[in-house]
Chains A and B, each alone.
Chain A
Amino acid sequence: MDVRLTIDGHEAKAPKDMSLLDVVRRVGGEIPALCHHEGIAPIAACRLCLVEVRRPGRGEAVLTTSCDYPVSEGLEVVTASPRIRRHRAMNLQLLLPYAPDAPALHEIAESLGVTAPLFAPVTGAPLPGCILCELCVRVCAALGYHALAAIGRGDHKRVGPPFGRSVATACVGCGACHEVCPTGCIAMEDTATTRRIWGRELELFTCRRCGKPFTTVAHRTVMVARGDIPAESCDLCETCRSRDYARRLAPVR
């Protein structure tokens, strides 16, 4: 069911309960966000996606995170105001010391006019650069690997392999966590034949046609078993696979 809402004075329509952040982005609005992924349940960790919302019949507009705010009928949304900016800026200043070198944070800092973090860069973190957005943990779980955990609480909180290990034994090396990490702090190194990630060293799988490695053997095995790759082209990299499809389509004109 669709609901109607206004975003910065403009009317919009969206499926009920869809994440407000996704709705705003869909209509071209811009909201800074570091811990959100459209396909994954939100945890509202970074606190940057603040907006003001007013529900019909309520007086005050309240400040809230938009990623975990389900849209409803008659919602009035403001995505930019001095108050929003002030709070986003403060939250960003709190994140900056954990990832002082991350371009994504600097980009947001610039847009908010933030020039300095609130305190000195954090040193000696178990995973330097990590802002604990938990995207890596959630993406890995959503893909069904569950190789990572959010561990501990408060200032001991960290992400990494569960059970106190230094190696993520369930990791297949798909690289999704590395891909989604907003600060780029998850190291993934490919040599000619192997991929290193989370303490694992996994053999790479090379495309049978062009010889380019396109994922790890372990990841491909899972994809084939799950039927994520059609059996007839499971030995080909994405480029060669697309070429195959195109060739098959060619006669249809």
Chain B
Amino acid sequence: MSADRERGVTARELRRIAAVLARYPQGDAGSLVNALHDVQAEFRYLPEAALCEVADHLGLPRAQVYGVASFYQGFHLEPRGEHTCTVCMGTACHVRGAARLLETIERDAGVGAGGTTPDLKLTVEEVNCVGACAIGPLVIVDGEYHGHMTADRVSRLVAKLLGEGASR
């Protein structure tokens, strides 16, 4: 076990995981998905060490916990950025130039869709129609919908998201 615990996690992170898991009774396998949600809320993704801790706490095999975590789109197994920029690639947004928006973001941020900038500032994502076709093309930044998006505006948005830390 201790070897697993040393895999890239600090003692402080382990304490954070333990604090989350304290909400669940030991061996309560039925809490798996809830526990994963809570751990992800803490780290924005599910580090391997966290998956192992969750498995051990709930009395489940680690391979099975990994299988569950990898099944749901909502769970992330790779580190995520502080901000998320999601481009709608649905049909309505697509015909209004979503591909161009995505290209712009990818170029500005230096990562492809599905990727995260090395400084963990921004994660770029695609989605296929979120039901707001009327205001397309649509870009969602940290859950906020920005309609009728243009390449210029999205470029400025991304610059702001990437620059935030530097200007602080």
A residues with a Cβ closer than 8 A to B are 137, 141, 146-153, 162-164, 170
Contact = CB atoms under 8 A, between A and B. Distances in A.
Given A163-B48, A164-B77, A147 B71 contact: no
Given A152-B71, A153-B71, A147 B63 contact: yes
Bin the interface of chain B by size. Answer: 10 to 19
A152 B67 CA distance: 7
B56 to A, nearest CB: 12
Interface centre among B51, B63, B64, B67 (most CB of A within 10 A): B63
A149 B71 contact: no
Closest 8 CB pairs of A and B: A146-B61, A162-B66, A149-B63, A149-B67, A162-B63, A146-B63, A151-B70, A150-B67
B62 interface: yes
Contacts of A148: 63
Contacts of B67: 137, 149-151, 162
A53 to B, nearest CB: 30
B64 A149 contact: yes
Contacts of A152: 70-71
Interface string B50-84: 01000000000111101100111100010000000
A194 to B, nearest CB: 23
B151 to A, nearest CB: 31
A162 B62 contact: yes
B116 to A, nearest CB: 16
Contacts of A163: 48, 51, 62, 66
Contacts of B48: 163
Given A147-B63, A153-B71, A162-B63, 16 more contacts: A137-B63, A137-B67, A141-B64, A146-B61, A146-B62, A148-B63, A149-B64, A149-B70, A151-B67, A152-B70, A152-B71, A153-B70, A153-B73, A162-B62, A163-B66, A164-B77
Contacts of A141: 61, 63-64
A170 B63 contact: yes
5 contacts: A146-B62, A148-B63, A149-B64, A149-B66, A163-B66
A151 B69 CA distance: 9
Contacts of B73: 153
Contacts of B70: 149, 151-153
Interface centre among A137, A150, A152, A153 (most CB of B within 10 A): A150
B69 to A, nearest CB: 9
Contacts of B63: 137, 141, 146-149, 162, 170
A134 to B, nearest CB: 10
Nearest to A134: B67
A148 B70 CA distance: 13
Contacts of A153: 70-73
Contacts of A146: 61-64
A181 B149 CA distance: 51
